[in-house]
């Protein structure tokens, strides 16, 4: 239903000769090609068409300063009936950006919250619920369709859970987020990570120590995170990290330290069990080289990261015997190592 609605609007602007110049301007803006002229070739990846169309409909501004959606509603160039046009007015109520998943009702929908605006939405969604997990992050556009909300954009990115802080920092700090901004960030990811690493030099010291960005003191390294306002990487010492954790979870610093230790024990146990499994599988007593160790560890970490946030959090409350039973059933693929 919503696909046909957006398609009709797109066809109007893409096929009306009076908008040819504006559409060329849109392409040159989106693909960062300042001097684009009709007939020039663009390097387009698979997903680009959907992302461009979404940006064109909701974010690009015509010379009259309106988005296509606004212009289409106000002029009604296709002479739609009031009921038909209402669907376009509804879609003007939309938000694009980062969303944290608060609840998942499998096969029915998600409850998401925008960290930027604080707004919560109940989104009707079928397919997306099958992979979604509470606490995970999405980049999507939530829009009104009839009396409810749906994901109405060209693409819906699910972000890797282990890089949550990175994406929260990099995306939430942007004044305006739209599909073009996000596409540009994803294309520059390696450069961004390199620049972050450069800016951390001098703050990361030998023997697992750091100069803390919060208290300014030299101490044991606690965490690496990102400033939500600027997107800059921040190093936090162990003491400050514990203080933050205690505050966030509403517990004493002692309790926070206990929980932190347990979290590491639980993941280290997984690592140790899986290394044993690998050695058994290879019929040997130890890893032969650092290279081999790295290859094996990478497979183990990948398997660990594929577990949901909730699964991993639940592990912290279990005893080791129970964990060993569960870990046995979590496969790590060592077949071609
Ligand atoms: Zn500190």
Task: Please state the three-class secondary structure of 273-295 as a single string.
Answer: HHHHHHHHHHCCCCCCCHHHHHH
In this predicted structure, the answer to whether residue 336 has a pLDDT above a threshold of 90 is no
Distance 101 CA to ligand 1 centre (A): 30
Centre of ligand 1 to C-alpha 197, Å, is: 19
Distance 159 CA to ligand 1 centre (A): 29
Kindly give the distance from the C-alpha atom of residue 225 to the centroid of ligand 1, in angstroms, as a whole number: 13
d(CA 192, CA 173): 14
* pLDDT > 60? residue 10: yes
Q: What's the gap in Å between 313 CA and the centre of ligand 1?
A: 25
Question: How far apart, in whole angstroms, are the C-alpha atoms of residue 254 and residue 273?
Answer: 29
Rounded distance from Cα 231 to ligand 1 centre (Å): 19
Q: How far is the CA of 10 from the centre of ligand 1 (A)?
A: 53
Closest of 200, 192, 81, 181 to residue 141, by C-alpha = 181
pTM above threshold 0.85: no
Angle, nearest 10°, between helix axes 179-187 and 48-58?
140
Distance 204 CA to ligand 1 centre (A): 13
Where is average pLDDT lowest: 40-44, 112-116, 219-223, 258-262?
A: 40-44
The full set of domain ranges for the chain reads 2-91, 94-187, 190-249, 259-328
Q: How far, in Å, is the centroid of ligand 1 from the Cα of 216?
A: 6
Beta-carbon contacts of 337 under 8 Å, excluding residues fewer than 6 positions away, are: 278, 292, 295, 296, 299
CB atoms within 10 A of CB 239: 17
CA of residue 193 to ligand 1 center, whole Å: 23
**Which tokens sit at 52?**
């461009």
**Per-residue confidence at 34, pLDDT binned at 50, 70, 90?**
confident
Residue-level pLDDT at 1: 55
Task: Give the Å distance between the CA of 210 and the centre of ligand 1.
Answer: 9
Given this model, what pLDDT does residue 248 score?
92
Instruction: Look at residues 167, 173, 172, 208 and name the one whose alpha carbon lies nearest to residue 186.
Output: 167
Comparing C-alpha atoms, which of 39, 94, 38 is closest to residue 68?
A: 94
**pLDDT given at position 130:** 65
| Of 230, 225, 228, residue with least CA distance to 240 | 225
Element (H, E) at 171: helix 164-172
Beta carbons of 148 and 122 less than 8 angstroms apart? yes
How many whole angstroms from 292 Cα to the centroid of ligand 1?
36
304 C-alpha to ligand 1 centroid (Å):
29
Q: Which CATH number fits domain 94-187: 2.70.150.10, 3.10.20.740, 2.40.50.140, 3.50.50.100?
A: 2.40.50.140
Compute the distance between CA of residue 21 and CA of residue 13 in angstroms, rounded to an integer. 11
Tens digit of pLDDT for each residue in 224-279?
999 888 889 999 999 999 999 999 999 999 999 999 999 999 999 999 999 999 99
Cα-to-centroid distance, 257 and ligand 1 (Å): 15
pLDDT score at 46: 79
Q: pLDDT of 104-152, one tens digit each?
A: 888 889 999 998 889 999 999 877 766 788 888 999 999 999 889 999 9
Cα 217 to ligand 1 centre (Å): 6
117 C-alpha to center of ligand 1: Å? 29
For the chain, percent of residues with pLDDT exceeding 70: 99
Distance between CA atoms of 100 and 88, rounded to whole angstroms?
26
Mean pLDDT over the full length of the chain: 91
pLDDT beyond 80 at 6: yes
């Amino acid at each position: 239903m919503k696909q046909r609605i957006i398609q009709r609007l797109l066809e109007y602007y893409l096929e009306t000769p009076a908008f040819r110049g504006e559409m060329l301007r849109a392409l040159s803006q989106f693909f960062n090609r300042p001097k684009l002229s009709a007939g020039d070739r663009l390097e387009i990846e698979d997903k680009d068409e959907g992302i461009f169309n979404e940006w064109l409909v909701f974010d690009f501004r015509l010379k009259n300063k309106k988005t296509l959606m606004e212009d289409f509603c106000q002029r009604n160039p296709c002479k739609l009936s009031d009921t038909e046009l209402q669907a376009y007015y509804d879609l003007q109520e939309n938000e694009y950006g980062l969303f944290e998943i608060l609840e998942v009702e499998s096969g029915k929908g998600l409850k998401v919250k925008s960290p930027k605006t604080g707004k919560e939405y109940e989104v009707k969604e079928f397919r997306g619920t099958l992979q979604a997990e509470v606490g995970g992050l999405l980049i999507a556009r939530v829009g009104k369709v009839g009396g409810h909300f749906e994901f109405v954009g060209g693409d819906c990115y699910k972000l890797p859970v282990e890089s949550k802080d990175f994406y929260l920092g990099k995306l939430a700090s942007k004044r305006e987020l739209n599909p073009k901004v996000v596409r540009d960030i994803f294309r520059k990811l390696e450069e961004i990570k390199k620049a972050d690493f450069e800016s951390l030099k001098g703050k990361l010291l030998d023997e697992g120590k750091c100069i803390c960005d919060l208290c300014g003191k030299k101490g044991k390294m606690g965490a690496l995170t990102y400033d939500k306002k600027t997107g800059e990487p921040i190093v936090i010492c162990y003491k400050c990290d514990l203080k933050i954790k205690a505050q966030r979870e509403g517990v004493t610093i002692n309790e926070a330290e206990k929980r932190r230790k347990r979290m590491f024990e639980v993941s280290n146990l997984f690592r140790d069990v899986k290394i044993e499994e690998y050695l058994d599988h290879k019929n040997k007593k130890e890893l032969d080289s650092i290279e081999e160790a790295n290859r094996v560890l990478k497979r183990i970490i990948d398997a660990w990261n594929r577990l949901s946030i909730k699964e991993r959090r639940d592990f912290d409350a279990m005893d080791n015997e129970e964990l060993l039973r569960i870990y046995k059933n979590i496969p790590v693929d060592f077949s071609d190592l």
